[in-house]
Amino acid sequence: MKKRIAIFASGSGSNAQKIMEHFKYSDGAEVALVLSNNPDAYVLQRADNFEIPTHVFDKHDFYQTDEIVELLKRLEIDLVVLAGFLWLVPENLLKSFPNKIINIHPALLPKFGGKGMYGDRVHKAVLEAGEDEHGITIHFVNENFDEGEIIHQARFRVDPGDTLEILKFNGQQLEHTHYPKVIENLLKKYN
């Protein structure tokens, strides 16, 4: 039986797209659902293009009820994947899917992580700090932003004169290459 993935995203969903592409013809796994806290998120259109069901929710549903947990259980989700999802995951979801919720962060954690550190903010901070390398981190999710156990990191050199756009582009290339493969390898470990 195929392993089932649920993707949470808040925005455009370029990582979600790469994951959907990766598993479209897979015998071992499928993206069963895309969820968003933003009814206008482009990721919902991307999911629709792959004929993958979507679910939009609000803060009340996510933090005050078990609606999302029950939905994921009903759909027999094996792995929850955060792909540009900006809210802290609530305790009921963490407890229902122990070590089965992962996230990707656009920096080499533990540097440049935490509340409010996402997207361009991360790349600006890396430039301002004068770092000579940058990269991505894929990690398990816990009750704190960007503090879960690290699963995989990939890095690239930051050259003098590199701009925010260059860092963002290089980081996204790593994200799109590594995230689907890490997900596939994780799913192979689950019975």
Residue 38 among known ligand-binding residues: no
Distance CA 160, CA 121 (A): 19
Catalytic residue among 22, 55, 60, 105: 105
- In the three-class reduction of DSSP (H, G, I as helix; E, B as strand; rest coil), residue 153 is classed as strand
Note if 105 is an active site residue.
Answer: yes
Residue 13 annotated as lining a ligand binding site:
yes
Cβ count near 180 (within 10 Å): 20
126: its two tokens: 């890396």
Number of H helices, E strands in the chain: 7, 7
191 annotated among ligand-binding-site residues: no
Residues 169, 173, 150, 22, Cα dihedral to 10°: 140
* Residue 148 among known ligand-binding residues: no
Question: Which parts are annotated binding residues?
Answer: 13-15, 103
Annotation: binding site for (6R)-10-formyltetrahydrofolate: 103
Q: Which residues are catalytic?
A: 105
